[in-house]
Amino acid sequence: MRILILTHSFNSLTQRLFVELSARGHDVTIEFDINDAVALEAVRLAQPDLVIAPFLKRAIPPAIWRERVCLVVHPGPEGDRGPAALDWAILEGAREWGVTVLQAEEEMDAGPVWASATFPMREATKSSLYRNEVADAAIEAVLRAVEKFPNGERHKPAQTYWKPAMTQQRRAIDWSRDDTATVLRKIRSADGNPGLLDSVLGEPMYLYDAHPAAGLSGEPGRVIARCDGAICRATVDGAVWIGHLRRKLGERPLKLPATMVLGDALRDVPECAGFNTIRYEERNGVGYLHFPFYNGAMSTAQCERLREAYVAATRRDTRVIALMGGPDFWSNGIHLNVIEAAESPADESWRNIVAMDDLCREIITTESQFTIAALHGNAGAGGVFLALAADRVVARDSVVLNPHYKGMGNLYGSEYWTYLLPRRAGSEKAHEVTQARLPVGVREARRLGLIDEHIGGSVTEFRRRVEEFAGQLAANPGFPALLAEKRRRRAADEAAKPLESYRQEELARLKLNFYGFDPSYHVARYNFVNKVPKSRTPLYLARHRGAVHKVAA
């Protein structure tokens, strides 16, 4: 079928839909919903059998839905209507939630239902639920709807209820009354966007990245400690860590680590342990290194600390190290927000990429252990190539990879990708990867040689299977031979061309991106971190506009 995806942006859910529909042989093209005229033109050019709207911020123009079937993905169960479905579900503590695929009609979210799916709710941020449970349910429901198109049955839900837009007042924290669970629920219902508006040390700020703070307490609302970029605020029955803040006032304030936003204002607040973005554990000869950095972004300091933790892990008496990333993202490369906020973004970009390269080199040159990159969540740009530094790359079935840098203002990229990619994929497929700008699902990633294995199931199931695999590897009588072969291969590669040469060549190109005449990278980064809306759909996505591009399946 020819399918036009009409969407506000190419976000995680849209990327998954694109990957899954393309993999089933559908001819998928994409248009960003910029205005009525552009959307109408896209339909005229694409002549789709079906329009799918996974993520819209406004209604589909009647001239489109009157002529063809438009399926809207609503992140709520059958009957639920309104623009803040997930926010309400989290805030009101729903036990079960769902996704409904309904046909666009005059009244918003009130058209006939084509398919729906439900899932148990988890205590997590809105964006984490959206990227995992909602995305899984949406794929299931959309695929069912597409399968039964054009003659499938549809039905009106027994009853519908409208939930209005969410306001900051509705979820404002009352520090003198709200217990820890309530504070967490309120913040998570607004995380990643727009953030929960509150006041910190007398200044209005949006709060993000909240976690319970075990064993800490104090005067409710007060900032009582800081650790690893986060601040700790007391509640009536304990305390919460808040990892990220965004100022309300000022020119284009960015979401940043809390201690970076507050700076000197925290001088009297004590440092204290308890908020760990890096965690190491060991079982059955395997070391597991977790690094659930917020949004998968890795600043200079985080890369350096992760490298130290990794080096410490290599000194342990283990046979395997599993690099676990976080449950939502494995890594999205260098930290573009921290870079944007720096006095010299060019200098900070440089420092960040050098720290990232140092981490990669440590992994590539590890001789004492076999390494596994275990991708529970998505990876993008440098984060994908960081994963390729490991000896084995294993991904969860629902993972989407963006193995390219070009989208960020034609960034050349580093992370030893010029060594790692051809080494894994061969030169032909490496060329294919570098030419594309599209997301890839796990099947395509395996075909391209980016990953070795993919495993289905939930995050918990994935973890269990990774542990099983890593444990078996560590216990394998053939392990010493495997390690010897790894060392032999590295030595041969080094003799053919030293790692340092790859690094210097990549950094020479990056220097031009950071300090050269062409400002594309700085412009793209500014637009990305400030979420500047796109004014047109890139031609590699809007295939109906004439670009000839291979669809990633």
For residue 192, state whether it binds ligand COA (rule: CB under 6 A). Answer: yes
For residue 378, state whether it binds ligand COA (rule: CB under 6 A). Answer: yes
For residue 302, state whether it binds ligand COA (rule: CB under 6 A). Answer: no
What string of DSSP letters covers 262-298?
Answer: HGGGGTTSPB-S---S-EEEEETTEEEEE---GGG-B
Which region among 38-46, 149-157, 295-303, 483-491 touches ligand COA (by CB under 6 A)?
295-303
Non-local (6+) Cβ contacts of 301 within 8 A are none
Instruction: Name which position in 116, 180, 277, 295 contacts ligand COA (CB under 6 A).
Output: 295
Q: Of 480 and 519, which CB lies nearer to ligand COA in the complex structure? A: 519
Taking CA 455 as the corner, what is the angle to CA 322 and CA 321, rounded to the nearest 5 degrees?
Answer: 5
Q: Of 97 and 405, which CB lies nearer to ligand COA in the complex structure? A: 405
For residue 382, state whether it binds ligand COA (rule: CB under 6 A). Answer: yes
For residue 380, state whether it binds ligand COA (rule: CB under 6 A). Answer: yes
Which region among 113-121, 134-142, 335-343, 427-435 touches ligand COA (by CB under 6 A)?
335-343
Residues 393-412 that bind ligand COA (CB under 6 A): 402, 405, 407-408, 411
CA distance 543 to 550: 10
Q: Of 313 and 450, which CB lies nearer to ligand COA in the complex structure? A: 450
Tokens representing residue 8 in the block = 């506000």
For residue 244, state whether it binds ligand COA (rule: CB under 6 A). Answer: no
Q: Of 104 and 430, which CB lies nearer to ligand COA in the complex structure? A: 430
CA distance 385 to 379: 9
CA distance 77 to 88: 12
Residue 223: closest CA among 279, 194, 261: 261
Taking CA 494 as the corner, what is the angle to CA 491 and CA 499, rounded to the nearest 5 degrees?
Answer: 135
For residue 335, state whether it binds ligand COA (rule: CB under 6 A). Answer: yes
Per-position x/- string for 126-165, each x denoting binding to ligand COA as judged by CB under 6 A, each - no binding: -x--------------------------------------
Helix (H, G, I), strand (E, B) or coil at 147: helix
CA distance 13 to 26: 17
101 touches 154 (CB < 8 A): no
Q: Of 238 and 382, which CB lies nearer to ligand COA in the complex structure? A: 382
Report which residue type is found at 398.
S
Q: What is the 3-state secondary structure (H, E, C) of 289-353?
A: EECCCHHHCECHHHHHHHHHHHHHHHCCCCCEEEEEECCCEEECCECHHHHHHCCCHHHHHHHHH
Instruction: Name which position in 12, 182, 318, 434 contacts ligand COA (CB under 6 A).
Output: 12
Per-position x/- string for 202-241, each x denoting binding to ligand COA as judged by CB under 6 A, each - no binding: ----------------------------------------
For residue 255, state whether it binds ligand COA (rule: CB under 6 A). Answer: yes
220 touches 176 (CB < 8 A): yes
Q: Of 127 and 259, which CB lies nearer to ligand COA in the complex structure? A: 127
The residues binding ligand COA (CB under 6 A) are 11-12, 127, 192-193, 255, 295-297, 332-337, 378, 380-382, 402, 405, 407-408, 411
